Amino acid sequence: METFLKLFRRRSLLQPSVAQMVVSYFLLIGWAFVVLFPLYWLVITSLKLPIHVNDGPVYLPFVDFEPSLHAWKYILIGDLKNDTIRPYVNTLIVGLASALLALTLGTMAAYGLIRFRYRPRLGAIGAFLGCLGLAVIAVVLGVPWTIAAVAALALFILILQTVGRRFQKSLGNSDIAFWLISQRILPPVAVVIPIYVLYQQFRLLDTHVGLIIAYVGANLPIVVWLMRDYFQTIPVELEECAAIDGASRYRIFVSIVLPLAVPGLIATFLFVLVFAWNEYLLALFLSSARAQTMPLTVAAQNATRGPQWWYMSVLIIIMILPVIIMAIVLERYIARGLLVGAIKG
């Protein structure tokens, strides 16, 4: 009886009892199977000849069927070599650059929204919308858009400096945050054509910079929202101490706040990286030969002869490898206890 009860006793604060461990492992392995089985199927499909796929399922290489590297050869050294490597490099550049940039800018804004009070005045917003409307009317009437934009901006500043000061009613930080996240609502289908036209004007089509800007813009709201919540859990006392010691706002942000938010930063970074890495519809429109990214190559394997499962599997596998490596490297930083030492010390 005594030994039986022991199974249910916690061994220490963070160490679960034996019975708990058994149940936990059971659940963890169960979900791991759900996650890994489709991926296993992907790997063996990449080793199959078309005939092995089309004649019904075979499960085990060497037992059920003779694995073949034909798809890997075709993608990596054969006909598709150049069509694989260039998009691959593009995806790396665009994904990493846009994720880092979005993380930097978004983290700053999130910190600002937590620690400062912004009061965007309704008068200013109204004036901005009014000037925007005037500019649109001017463009419709045939004024070149550059002139209309400059004139509207000048008018806006003029109004702001004179009449705008009288309207003191203002919005708050949470309204700014909501405005940011609401920019994610419109589906990409509705956005691509306007962005295409916009990029044509700025000569950003089929460039890395263009894709990076688009992905940074798309990811910023998510970074701001997630980081805002992580920052909220950081005690303000630490920052006050540093401020008394004479550190500037920027200094406090870089050397106190950011190190404490590392778990959140890593989680957010992985998410925005994955988003830019995998984005399909914007890439389809904004890039063609030079800046094409990998998701387009994957979708292109759905040829007129039907989906080329084996090539597609190879492409998906080589596409996720870098992200998996990054996740393995970064996962260790999502760990408990970073905050504890800081408060005690």
**Hey, which residues between 80 and 109 contact another protein (CB under 8 A)?**
105-106, 108-109
SS3 content of the chain, % helix, strand, coil (to 5): 75, 0, 25
In the complex, least distance from residue 130 CB atom to another protein, rounded to whole angstroms: 14
Task: Kindly report the number of other CB atoms within 10 A of residue 87's CB atom.
Answer: 23
In the complex, least distance from residue 158 CB atom to another protein, rounded to whole angstroms: 19
Nearest-CA neighbor of 67 among 310, 320, 315, 318? 310
Q: Is 15 in the site for another protein (CB under 8 A)?
A: yes
Q: Is 19 in the site for another protein (CB under 8 A)?
A: no
In the complex, least distance from residue 114 CB atom to another protein, rounded to whole angstroms: 10
Which neighbouring-strand residues pair with 65? 61
Question: What's the maximum distance between 2 C-alpha atoms anywhere in the chain?
Answer: 90
Q: Is 314 in the site for another protein (CB under 8 A)?
A: no
Separation CA 74–CA 128 (nearest Å): 55
Under 8 Å between Cβ of 282 and 211: yes
Name residue 269's amino acid: F
In the complex, least distance from residue 261 CB atom to another protein, rounded to whole angstroms: 8
Q: Is 130 in the site for another protein (CB under 8 A)?
A: no
Residue 62, phi-psi category: left (phi > 0), alpha (psi -120 to 50), beta (remainder): left
* Contacts to another protein from residues 257-296, by CB under 8 A: 263-264, 266-268, 270-271, 274, 277-278, 280, 294-295
In the complex, least distance from residue 294 CB atom to another protein, rounded to whole angstroms: 7
Under 8 Å between Cβ of 102 and 214: no
Out of 18, 35, 69, 158, the residue judged to bind another protein by CB under 8 A? 35
Out of 7, 18, 32, 154, the residue judged to bind another protein by CB under 8 A? 32
For residues 36 and 154, which CB has a smaller minimum distance to another protein in the complex? 36
Out of 47, 94, 224, 257, the residue judged to bind another protein by CB under 8 A? 224
How buried is residue 176: exposed, middle or buried, by Cβ count under 10 Å (0-12/13-18/19+)? middle
Q: Please tell me whether residue 319 adopts helix, strand or coil conformation.
A: helix
Separation CA 269–CA 104 (nearest Å): 10
For residues 158 and 281, which CB has a smaller minimum distance to another protein in the complex? 281
Task: Choose one: 70-78, 82-90, 157-165, 170-178; the region binding another protein (CB under 8 A).
Answer: 170-178
Nearest-CA neighbor of 197 among 187, 208, 210? 210
For 6-53, where are the E strands, in sequence order? Answer: none
Q: Structure tokens of 31?
A: 């979900």
Q: Is 319 in the site for another protein (CB under 8 A)?
A: yes
Q: Is 241 in the site for another protein (CB under 8 A)?
A: no
Q: Is 61 in the site for another protein (CB under 8 A)?
A: no
How many chain residues interact with another protein (CB under 8 A)?
Answer: 115
For residues 59 and 154, which CB has a smaller minimum distance to another protein in the complex? 59
Out of 19, 39, 147, 241, the residue judged to bind another protein by CB under 8 A? 39
Nearest-CA neighbor of 277 among 295, 290, 291? 295
Out of 51, 197, 244, 303, the residue judged to bind another protein by CB under 8 A? 197
Write down the residue that tokens 């920019």 correspond to: 183
Out of 103, 211, 230, 272, the residue judged to bind another protein by CB under 8 A? 230
Task: Choose one: 63-71, 79-87, 156-164, 336-344; the region binding another protein (CB under 8 A).
Answer: 336-344
